[in-house]
Chain A
Amino acid sequence: MKLDVDEIQSSSIGFIPDIPPSTPGRRFYFQDVGETMGSEKVPSLLSSSSPSKPDLVPALVNRYVSGGISIGRAAEIIGLCYDDFIKKVVEKGLRLPMGPATLQEFKEEDRILQSYLSSSVAK
């Protein structure tokens, strides 16, 4: 099931009200990781072209970078397929760091793959 921004905004999955209720703004709420993003970040997420709708892409990129959701999950939250989400990220000049984070991690991945390839050849 896909959720569009309006659905996210109005549903308990996408947002929860601030506490106390009189506090302006809302908080992002990611149900599957049980974490919130503070309401102080919300104004910066408003798209200049559509001030009534929050631009969720930067928030979701931040959420991926800080850990807790994958890119596929971020795309799902915003209601896009994987490639369309990547396109949005690129359009906005944002970056989604992917692949090994360090040279050491790259070498470990290389060791795993070479081990797999050599065992396949041996068979």
Chain B
Amino acid sequence: MTIVLNTSALSTFHRTNSLSMIEALFKGQETLIPKAVVEEFLEGNFEPPSFIKRVTLNASQISVANSITGLHVGEREAIVLAKDNNGVLITDDREAKKKAKGLGVNVAGCLVVIKNAFLGCHIHERERDRIVEEGQAVSFWPDDIVREVLSLKKGGP
């Protein structure tokens, strides 16, 4: 199966220096980002780590992506990529999430990625706390959900 990162997720994990957590959590799986996301992010001045595969969509996929309104091209392409690969789109952008769900795409946010990385022993508690704290400064996650994630202990719910 496939994981697709859109710009909001890439930005959060890059800013919090936690892309290695993504690699560990989804080890052996395909992690994709559309080329347009790379171009959107930091105006293209970003080289994704080798475990993330950059994908250029074909004409048919671009046509579908262009029919989605209200999103940047990178976000549109990420949705199409996740749909065509029956994958999970990682995004925190609520509009992108809404559009993706409307097209039947499975969606998860950065906080559940962090939670599962912690419970799967890919990051320590202190590292989880740091990523959440630094991520919240730019991702504006709801306080009650942040508290839920930070309250988890190994062997807990």
Contact = CB atoms under 8 A, between A and B. Distances in A.
Interface residues of A, number: 36
Given A68-B70, A82-B41, A90-B137, A97 B88 contact: no
Interface string A81-123: 1110010001000011111111100100110111011011000
A113 B70 contact: no
Interface in A18-42: 32-33
Interface stretch (B48-56, B103-111, B123-131): B103-111
Contacts, number: 133
A103 B42 CA distance: 31
Contact of A70 (B70, B139, B142): B70
A53 B115 CA distance: 43
Contacts of B144: 103
A56 interface: no
Given A95-B140, A113-B112, A70 B95 contact: yes
B111 A99 contact: yes
A61 to B, nearest CB: 10
Task: List the 3 closest A-B pairs by CB distance, nearest first.
Answer: A72-B72, A98-B92, A70-B95
Interface of B: 1, 3, 6-8, 11, 15, 25-26, 28-29, 40-43, 69-72, 74-75, 88, 92-96, 98, 106-113, 115-116, 120, 137-142, 144-145, 148
9 contacts: A68-B95, A72-B8, A81-B43, A86-B11, A86-B138, A99-B139, A106-B109, A106-B145, A116-B88
